[in-house]
Structure 1
Amino acid sequence: MNACRVGLVTPGAHPEMAEIEAQISAARGRISPLYQVLLNSPAVVQGWEAMLTAIRLNTSLPPRLRELIILRVATLNNAPYEFDAHVPHALAAGMPPALVDELRSGPAPSQLQGLEQGEAEVLALTDAMTRDIEVPDAVFAPLRARYDDTQLVELAATVGAYNMVSRFLVALRIGH
């Protein structure tokens, strides 16, 4: 496979980055190759960590739903590193291993077994935002009926943020 396109910053190599490295380690348990790349830009890594932490830990979305979105985006964007990084989170959120395996293979949401009520509609949003950007009214209407404005913002932000993550990973060949 091709190597990462930019250098990985060794944690501890830049004393001025100690605070953000400590935050990343505390939140994630380690400084992954993704964050070692992000450490090349102090401004980007700080903003990235703040936004992704908010989406991962501080929204009202159930963890299973969030992880369903993340795994779907990773599959659609051919970002196996991101998919693999989130499998433990999906399993911890109660997603059955069989559903994780199905998500990895990428069938249409209507073909997935083991989805809970409303999850196919969220996957339709995920697919529309990831593939086409524009979300048709017919895709949005069932979500409007189920979720309030806060949750709709959080759904769209989760899809958008993890598209950013997966596209960043793929473009820079992180984790290949």
Structure 2
Amino acid sequence: MSISKIRVPLVQPGTRPELAEVEDRIMQERGRISLLYQVLLNSGSIASGWERMLTAVRNQTSVPADLRELMILRVAVLNGANFEFEAHVPHAERAGITNEKIDALRVASPPDVFTSSEQLVLELADTMTREIVVPDTLMSRLRQRFDPQGIVEVVATVAAYNMVSRLLVALNVEH
């Protein structure tokens, strides 16, 4: 999908003085103002809150990077958010996720190439994204692997990236 199909205008960095502070924070944290943030800058308060929350989810939790990126990629697949998937493939590769596992995330029922911890967080991602309600049996298995902080963090990761992917899809943000 081309940039012209995005449903809101892109805000070019540096063109709106009232956004300077949030643009500076985005640059400090991310090193650039991506297409997603150019969309979000249509609302300075949303862009600011988004940056803070997603920075916490991605960079300030105890969730191992490989598990985090698997959840993010899976949510992107389930929601048809190709922009998000492609944006996170390099992060997944840096976290040590193999191409075999990345490719496996693209299918409805991924093949048995994942560790038990990976399977668990992918089941959480699938359940929260497709069904929303997390059954007690799944939560019980999560408690065996994660402490309360870890449970909040994996659930927040799936929830946050459902938010990201749904915004991207609704506004036609693609490469």
Q: TM-score, normalised by structure 1?
A: 0.94
**Which runs of structure 2 are paired with 1:134-173 in the superposition (5 Å)?**
134-173=133-172
**Which runs of structure 2 are paired with 1:17-96 in the superposition (5 Å)?**
17-96=19-98
Cα offset for 1:141? 1.6
Cα offset for 1:32? 0.9
Residue identity opposite 2:155 in structure 1: A
3-state SS of 1:125 partner: helix
- Aligned residue pairs, count: 173
Question: Which blocks of at least 5 consecutive residues in structure 1 are unaligned?
Answer: none
Cα offset for 1:27? 1.4
CA contact (8 A) 1:72 1:106 kept: no
Superimposed CA distance per residue, residues 46-76 of structure 1 (whole angstroms, 9 cap, x where no aligned partner): 1100000000000000000100000000000
Cα offset for 1:106? 2.2
3-state SS of 2:133 partner: coil
Bigger drift between 15-24 and 49-58 goes to 15-24
Question: Which blocks of at least 5 consecutive residues in structure 2 are unaligned?
Answer: none
CA distance in 2 between counterparts of 1:117 and 1:139 reads 13
**Identity of matched residues, %:** 55
CA distance in 1 between counterparts of 2:124 and 2:37 reads 28
CA contact (8 A) 1:75 1:83 kept: yes
Cα offset for 1:14? 0.6
